[in-house]
Amino acid sequence: MHIIESGNVAAATGVKLSRAQVIAAYPITPQTPLTEKLSEFVESEEFDAQYIPVESEHSAMAVCIAASSAGARAFTATSANGLLYMSEQLHWAVGARLPLVMCVANRGIGAPWTVWNDQQDTMSQRDAGWIQIYANDHQQIIDSVIKAFRLAQTVSIPVMVCYDGYILSHTYMPFEQPDQEQVDSFLPPFAPKNFLDPENPGNFNTVTLPDVRPGVDGKIEPGYIEIRHNLHEDLRTALDTYEEIDKEFEEQFGRGGNPLIEQYKCDDAEFVAVCIGSLSYQLRDVIDIMRDDGMKIGVMSVQMYRPFPDEAIVAVLAGKKCAIVLEKALSYGNQGALYGDIKSALYNSDTKPHVHNYILGLGGREIKTQHLLDALTESCTSPDTIGDTPRWIGLKL
């Protein structure tokens, strides 16, 4: 069914179609309409799920962790400071290997307060071990939510589906809403091997020791470092797993094909602008203008940020003259986090491009097409003279 709705409603619809069983959330701008919509779906009995209006984000994630441990498909959503308030729980959910899905409507972090969009919130949680998927439009939001549940339960790692606050969360776009039957055949019910079960009792998330240790049966069980190593290995495997899941999704729904990175006019490009999220669509307009002037430039958006699709990114960027990384987040005191990751991925490439870093849009500062045009033009005309220091776009000092 083709509908026109907001990004938050696209997300809520994806959660409903995915038959989440336990939903807990605490309202925070700009995620709020998603939470409201889910409560409406449940209260109207259109959606058979437990909706638990918790008293905080920390508790929202606690409910999801416990419900998932008990064998239920669980979902929450948040933004900005709410995400940071549940930060401890994010790490817990990963360590417990629970297939949760969470939507984050990206917003800048206080202080000072801002309710507007940037991506500092999720970028600051990049090392928690969650899989991070970024959507560029409403279709990608709803599709990513459905694929995220499948991915999470395939690799037993929680997945964040991130989309730009207001720019996507509150705007209306047409998108295709999949049929319930189609989603049911794509996403099997959650049936974990281990869950809290009086018939088969287990003690979950107990204290582990620095070293391996035998159980009562004499079998050697892992220590903390082995458990964490396995998480990392499984995260790396998740890149391939997600590509396979996306392929299956594409065969069934006719959409997808770019699960890790999305490219626009990159094939013959000498320059590639790199970003995350909805900015990539704005950059397409800029790139088209520049191409009219004879500049060979393309855009790549990173769709899955963790695990980091380094091979896919290097495959696009190696051999180019310059990669221009534009970010709505910053590793304060250093550089953009994505910039650092991309430079690191390119380090062993024989044909590595120059890499430039631009910081923009923090706290919702308007990103003007002219500013993008100026910055990209400068990078393209002097790729080897722009240094390693992040350059700020639209700053009014």
Partner 1 sequence: MDRLKIIKKNIMEKKTTILNLTEEEFVHSGNRACSGCGLSIIYRIGLKALGKNTILVVPPSCLTVLQGLYPVASTKLPCVNVTFASTGAAATGVRGAMKALKKENVNVVAWAGDGGTGDIGIQALSGACERGEDIIYICYDNEAYMNTGVQRSGTTPQGVLTTTTPIKGKLQEKKDVPSIIAAHGIGYVATASAAYPLDFYDKVKKAMTISGPRYIHVHTPCPPGWSFDTRFTIKVGKLAVKSGLFDLYEIEDGEFQLTGESKRLVGKEKPPVTDYFNSQGRFKSLDAELVKTVQERVDTKWAKY
Placement of tokens 């701008």 in the chain: 29
Q: Which stretch binds partner 1 (CB under 8 A): 55-63, 176-184, 275-283, 370-378?
A: 55-63
Contact 308, 134 (CB under 8 A): no
User: Residues 33-52: x/- map of binding to partner 1 (CB under 8 A)?
Assistant: ----------------xx-x
Whose Cβ is closer to partner 1: residue 62's or residue 261's?
Answer: 62
Give the pair of three-digit tokens for residue 90: 């994010």
Does 88 participate in binding partner 1 (rule CB under 8 A)?
Answer: yes
Does 74 participate in binding partner 1 (rule CB under 8 A)?
Answer: yes
User: Residues 283-302: x/- map of binding to partner 1 (CB under 8 A)?
Assistant: --------------------
Q: Which of 56, 180, 351, 381 binds partner 1 (CB under 8 A)?
A: 56
Placement of tokens 């807990």 in the chain: 24
Whose Cβ is closer to partner 1: residue 21's or residue 258's?
Answer: 21
Contact 280, 330 (CB under 8 A): no
Among the listed residues 281, 309, 14, 36, the one whose alpha carbon sits nearest the alpha carbon of residue 141 = 14
Whose Cβ is closer to partner 1: residue 222's or residue 340's?
Answer: 222
Give the pair of three-digit tokens for residue 299: 């855009």
User: Residues 189-228: x/- map of binding to partner 1 (CB under 8 A)?
Assistant: -------xxx-xxxxxxxxxx---xxxx----x-------
E strands of 1-100, at which residues?
2-6, 22-24, 50-52, 74-78
* H or E stretch covering 172: strand 172-176
Does 81 participate in binding partner 1 (rule CB under 8 A)?
Answer: no
User: What is the β-pairing status of strands 101-106 and 159-164?
Assistant: parallel
Q: Which of 11, 62, 314, 329 binds partner 1 (CB under 8 A)?
A: 62
Give the pair of three-digit tokens for residue 361: 């849009």
* Min CB(305)–partner 1 separation in Å: 25
Does 69 participate in binding partner 1 (rule CB under 8 A)?
Answer: yes
Q: Which of 27, 29, 71, 262 binds partner 1 (CB under 8 A)?
A: 71
Does 58 participate in binding partner 1 (rule CB under 8 A)?
Answer: yes
Does 68 participate in binding partner 1 (rule CB under 8 A)?
Answer: yes
* Min CB(260)–partner 1 separation in Å: 32
Dist CA 301 CA 282 (whole Å): 11
Dist CA 158 CA 219 (whole Å): 29
* Min CB(45)–partner 1 separation in Å: 14
Does 55 participate in binding partner 1 (rule CB under 8 A)?
Answer: yes
What Cα–Cα distance (Å) separates residue 54 from each residue in 41, 174, 268? 17, 32, 51
Q: Which stretch binds partner 1 (CB under 8 A): 84-92, 149-157, 287-295, 317-325?
A: 84-92
What Cα–Cα distance (Å) separates residue 231 from each residue in 58, 151, 370? 23, 14, 44
Give the pair of three-digit tokens for residue 9: 């409603």
Interacting positions 110-139 with partner 1 (CB under 8 A)? none
Report the SS3 class of residue 74: strand
The DSSP annotation for 251-264 comes to HHHS--S-SSEEEE
Angle between helices 369-381 and 279-292 (to 10 degrees): 60
* Min CB(230)–partner 1 separation in Å: 14
Q: Which stretch binds partner 1 (CB under 8 A): 66-74, 101-109, 111-119, 235-243?
A: 66-74
Interacting positions 141-200 with partner 1 (CB under 8 A)? 196-198, 200
Dist CA 297 CA 380 (whole Å): 8
Q: Which residues bind partner 1 (CB under 8 A)?
A: 21-22, 24, 49-50, 52-56, 58-72, 74, 88-89, 92, 196-198, 200-209, 213-216, 221
